[in-house]
Structure 1
């Protein structure tokens, strides 16, 4: 006969172990379970363990994302502070330069007014003082100076400054030019004087128009005269000079020549075609470049570039660009001027 102790379910448990819990952790410890409830308890344990793993993974992922966001925010803040410091430094440097420039101008340009003359005429003296500063510029453009009459004074526009009328005068004397600065008070007192420091600046501009040149061109490398008649099928006439050339060759080099010599224009049927508005020497160098000669130098590069742009010849344009970039002794400003005027794109990039 079984006793109550023998018939009852026997459950044996292992000693519990203590594990410190971290944030958001769930730990379930259990001993060995025997009897009919063992299967459900094991499944529950597996589910709990799974949830624990997912919770730990989620927590670690959130922590990592937060650290990344904090790092990005820190980097952005440091970069912004660096930019602000650079801007502040530039501003302070600019202010120092402005202060220095203003100080120099105030020291070098000073005008004093006082009354110390016993006559009504005015005296102008070259002096400097630091008591009062009044500065201005007189400017006037005198045109056609070469036709000025002898010993005749030509005046610029009047300007009013400090109750005084100021103006510039120019006079031609024995093929020399004399410059004057005049002042006339509006209401002079019995005694008056005006002390100034004058600084003169003369700007000369000469407009040159070349109508025609003869015998100034450099030595020709290639000939396009009647000796080339056998190899040509058209004659291009520039002023009184004839150039014996090939229609097909020029048409392949230039879209303008292609339309003119092979298109529907009347010139395509003519044995001689006149080209107006260009110089024969310039056209000769232009043809030499098209025929592969090294004909460009600092004396004719602008003329060749003009014709290259006019007749739309990529080969000549490229040769002009290469010369200006690699060999020319011209100033950078002059090169850029030619590039802009005649559409030399490679040089425009250096603007």
Structure 2
């Protein structure tokens, strides 16, 4: 089963379930998904089994973050029999509330013992969908730090970070860097070049895309598009457009706005092909019609 982006499944087999002490939680091992560690716990809550999802991030006011999730628990036996509640859980984990979320009454203890406990073992799954995050930094997919110095010939200073890169590689992908680093500008002879007013995280993501890493998602794409357009880089622009067409969960309105801003014709056509009803037309309209692409307005009305 191939899961869409921002979704994952935790699964763990718990043993000696009938021997669990009341109000004592038993935890599954932690797993990292989308730069955050997650696990589950079960507990004997009187005459019911409790099941919880846990998100492990730093707590305290110095690190503000939130993760909005939708999750559903499933209990499975070794024979494949499954039990789940119809309702999903919606919860916002944050630096202030990073404790577990779930239910103390997932299934009655008697029903668990009678119908689902085989060899004193049960498997619990949590299907998790991340709806929205703030303050969560992704791990770098490729390093451009000093350890990469022998494979570089220039250092780009961006904010508080240094990127050790090859002039020829950047020049091949960008007319801006071709002129800056290989042209007649003073920077062409400098070992270190400062790029002003650029977000180092966005620049890291842009370089990762150039080097073939899967750095594009709905959170990173705005910064990548901004820099790719600024630096005249066709490869990141094309990859961002492909992501928006095939994988993004951004609204139709946002996608049409992006298509206009960065002249992404394939994205615009893909959006228009998906609009068939009056409600879809209303959803696609972004504020004033005068702010929209005239060709889109003509196609919609």
TM-score (norm 1): 0.38
Q: Looking at both structures, which has the greater relative contact order when contacts are Cα pairs under 8 Å and sequence separation is at least 6?
A: 2
Q: Over alpha carbons, which structure has the higher Rg? A: 1
TM-score (norm 2): 0.44
Q: Which has the higher strand share?
A: 2
